[in-house]
Amino acid sequence: MHELSIASSIVESVLTFAEGPPPRKIVKVLLQIGELTCVEPEQLAFCYTAITRETALEGSTLEIEPVKAEVVCRHCGYEGRPRYWDDALADTCIATLQCPRCDKATEAVGGHECTIRTIRYVEP
Amino acid sequence: MIQIEANPEEIYDIELEHSLLEANQKLAKENRGLLDRHGITAIDFMGAIGSGKTTLITRLVEKLKDRMGVAVFNGDATTSNDADTIAGYGVPVVQIATINGCHLDANVVGKACSKIDLKKLRLIFIENIGNLICPAEFPLGSKARVVVISVTEGPYMVRKHPHMFLGAQLVVINKIELAEIMGVSVEELARDVHRLKPDLKVIPTSCKTGAGLDDVAEAILAV
């Protein structure tokens, strides 16, 4: 699944940074994952741990910070959190592009992030 | 498991804004630019296996090929069955074999574009992998995404795959001739779509009877 390909992209980017010069020991990678992004954080963290084994990144942790969705409505001017469909199926609340104020179509302006935000490292 | 414990005085943080989806997004933009320069509209067809994507594309090719240049890119994990079927209609077909991949990406679509003569084309239909989760995050450079679901997949297809619908410009509800036998309401599926995205166009179709296919062709040409 593509959590693995995203984990690979993370490892590739961070390894390049870790190589330096000077070489650095990576402690933690902080990722921002938007609410509207189709990426499963737990699977991603699992893939990251699995593929960093026996690499220079072994032992480093992946921390995922969720980013909430933000929408704007060109019809009524609403700006803010999306309307949620909370009884679609058990457990999950689904973010929608229906305006919480006027019911018309909104556009997402935030919540699609899939970004390396911070790399925490130690310079030996 | 080894865990790194760092001494507080030695820790550094480097702040980045490195988007992991950026590489594909950049290639998608390049594809889109190339196609725009040639006046070509590419349509990304997504849907689960068995939703009727290939049949729908085949019917559209039949309808449109004598009026304008049409090509088809077919993404398939292992077979060329679908590509062979469409090639029988005399339009350029590029088979993209993804083997273990769960989605097409802008890179392989860019390569497919280089395999055909873009000069006389007006439309490219891209049939994505039969998967309603992964393709959502990977734009290809198409002008519009069409999600194909069928009544034979049950009444909850929209609720189970919200991300796919949020990113679509057209939804086709296929195999409507089987709705009664399946006990699935096309209207309820359409209502679910509009709960997610109120302005998303929904066209019910039957590739068997031809119902709705002219509307789909018209919607695609209007994109």
* pLDDT tens profile A28-64: 999 999 999 888 889 999 999 999 998 989 999 999 9
Residue B18 to residue A13, Cβ atoms within 8 A: yes
**CA distance linking residue A47 with residue B155, whole number of Å:** 33
Secondary structure element (H or E) that encloses residue A26, with its range: strand A25-34
Let me know: does B123 contact B69? Beta carbons within 8 Å. yes
pTM of the model: 0.89
**CA distance linking residue B73 with residue B4, whole number of Å:** 47
Q: To 10 degrees, what angle do helices B213-221 and B53-64 make? A: 70
Give yes or no for B136 touching A (CB within 8 A): yes
Residue A97 to residue B197, Cβ atoms within 8 A: yes
Give yes or no for B195 touching A (CB within 8 A): yes
User: What 3-state DSSP class applies to B165?
Assistant: helix
Tens digits of residue pLDDT in B165-200: 999 999 999 999 999 999 999 999 999 999 999 999
Distance (Å) from the alpha carbon of A80 to chain B's nearest alpha carbon: 16
**Could you tell me which residues of chain A have a Cβ less than 8 Å from any Cβ in chain B?**
1-2, 6, 9-10, 13, 17, 24-27, 36-39, 58-61, 85, 88-89, 94-99, 103-105, 108, 113-123
Q: Provide the pLDDT confidence category of residue B14 given band limits of 50, 70 and 90.
A: confident
Query: Closest by alpha carbon to B103, among B158, B48, B61, B50?
Result: B48
Query: Closest by alpha carbon to B122, among B172, B67, B181?
Result: B67
Within chain B, strands assigned E span 11-19, 41-47, 70-76, 93-97, 123-127, 144-150, 170-174, 201-204
Share of chain B above pLDDT 70, in %: 93
Write the residue in A2, A97, A114 that is nearest to B134 by C-beta: A2
Let me know: does B42 contact B140? Beta carbons within 8 Å. yes
CA-only gyration radius of chain A, Å:
18
Peptide bond into A21 cis (omega under 30): yes
Q: How far apart are the first and last CA of chain B?
A: 53
ipTM: 0.85
